Structure 1
């Protein structure tokens, strides 16, 4: 199969035989770990009046976790959404375990929606259409918005665009893309570095652990926050090509040399076999095993905000 896009190491997605083995064969054979489809999640109700006033120039960035990989990132008077999936479910009959941190109707005016890739748990077209903001994403993404009036900016890896006073950089990730039967790796996947006057924030998108974290950290020194996925890793033989486990996420954080680690991509949708609440437990254990200082680690409640700024 000829693929339009590949990872930095030349790899593509699993062959269909591996997908069948994971989705059907191992399930029928009873080889997959069974765990509940729900768990108790901490959740806070953010103040809409606070969110309506983004930090201004020189005031750093406010990061609000909306659940899964969805974030409200506010800096320099601008509000951005990253990978917003704010409906009750995603295709495949996968319902939310916890409501979104900020409902659609309570979002502040959004300057741009950043989409890391086209998988349904990161690109929810009804959510993006209702938000109504211009879209920034990887090469090929425009095809999904041809029936809308939304402006789309496509970026290659290491490409950049401006959203008002803020610069958005699209950076590599170790993943893949697919939304239909015939579009495997036809659109580019990646992460984002959002750069303002007094804060620089990295959102990895979906990614496995890869050497690219070193290069992202080198090109963007002084990252104030790294928003990194810690869930959807079991079984390892299948998921490690596309997702990190908590231990790998800590390695990525150290490679990036970021000041703060913010956990994401856990607890919201039951996508894989580990218990929904296992990822932060393993993250905490790995953090302590490495004897890392406690202050930089943040496992936010859904709806909770953290402010960061250049030190």
Structure 2
């Protein structure tokens, strides 16, 4: 990841902490980081492992936009606040300073949890610590009306004050005119590694529909063309696809579960969506990628395929965009 200036004291602290960090990454191996992958990730990131997250200037404090029909705000990683008319949806909320105790944020959350408006539906794509953050759900508990998780996911969800619902693939949860359908992706749903054998349905994507607007949320997925083509067949005219573009490396390890920027763009085209917003990059230490690598690669792919920012865009942490505005009276 990106290297930042370091004081002598900080350098000493890092050297002293390396054995502990190595042990923690070894424990992370129980959650699926097999072989030498934890050591490679640690080696690529040890220089910033103990840095404070970068600040996000000028955060939005009033994210509900009455002038918007469709607006999005990237909090970071896979956390996006989606507004469709009067409905608010939050994807994979993570507001904590780290995930799984050991993985620190590189950039602070782009929205303070206390500034969240009431949320109609929280969508959790799978059970990994950087997507199902129980600490974050506790922070926003009073603001959440309903939590949606993939099939089998409720086993890891405590008894919160809000309703929690499992949504199996190709089934739809509906509240009034708001509909959320679970759609297939290619990933994994276990949380600790030891549960790998039986947590084999606990990952999903979602399509949100409200007042004729459709938003696809891919969560975390590898490239599998038929998943995206089948989703397009059932949901033609998707207005926005939220698609991950990282982690990329180590490539052989990541490819079975994650799309790289070129594959994300292909998934966007397979979905037939009008616009794509890139997510799941430059927020947590979870790969050997350098900071900014995935966005640079995405820009190269966009140029090669003739896609401008009107079709594919890279948000900044904390950036909010109105994609469909209301007509002026």
Q: Normalization by structure 1: what TM-score?
A: 0.84
Query: Contact 1:41 / 1:267 at 8 angstroms: preserved in 2?
Result: no
Residue pairs, 1:68-107, within 5 angstroms: 68-107=77-116
**How many Å separate the matches in 2 of 1:152 and 1:31?**
34
Identify which range, 36-45 or 142-151, moves more after superposition: 36-45
Query: Contact 1:198 / 1:309 at 8 angstroms: preserved in 2?
Result: no
Query: Contact 1:226 / 1:253 at 8 angstroms: preserved in 2?
Result: yes
293 and 309 in structure 1: CA distance in 2 versus 1, 3 angstrom threshold:
same
**How many Å separate the matches in 1 of 2:307 and 2:69?**
24
1:196 CA drift (Å)? 1.1
Which structure is higher in helix share? Answer: 2
196 and 101 in structure 1: CA distance in 2 versus 1, 3 angstrom threshold:
same
The number of aligned residues is 288
**How many Å separate the matches in 2 of 1:233 and 1:224?**
26
Task: Tell me whether 1:271 sits opposite 2:286 in the alignment.
Answer: yes
Q: Which residue of 1 aligns with 2:216?
A: 202
Question: Deviation string for 1:72-126 (max 9, x for gaps)?
Answer: 1111311111100011111151111111111111111112211111000001011
Q: Normalization by structure 2: what TM-score?
A: 0.80
Query: Contact 2:61 / 2:115 at 8 angstroms: preserved in 1?
Result: yes
Query: Contact 2:60 / 2:318 at 8 angstroms: preserved in 1?
Result: no
Query: Contact 2:41 / 2:288 at 8 angstroms: preserved in 1?
Result: no
Residue pairs, 1:86-235, within 5 angstroms: 86-132=95-141, 133=144, 134-184=146-196, 185-186=198-199, 187-211=201-225, 212-235=227-250
> 4+ residue stretches of structure 1 with deviation over 4 A?
30-33, 35-44
1:48 CA drift (Å)? 2.6
Query: Contact 1:60 / 1:76 at 8 angstroms: preserved in 2?
Result: yes
298 and 41 in structure 1: CA distance in 2 versus 1, 3 angstrom threshold:
farther
SS at match of 2:44: coil
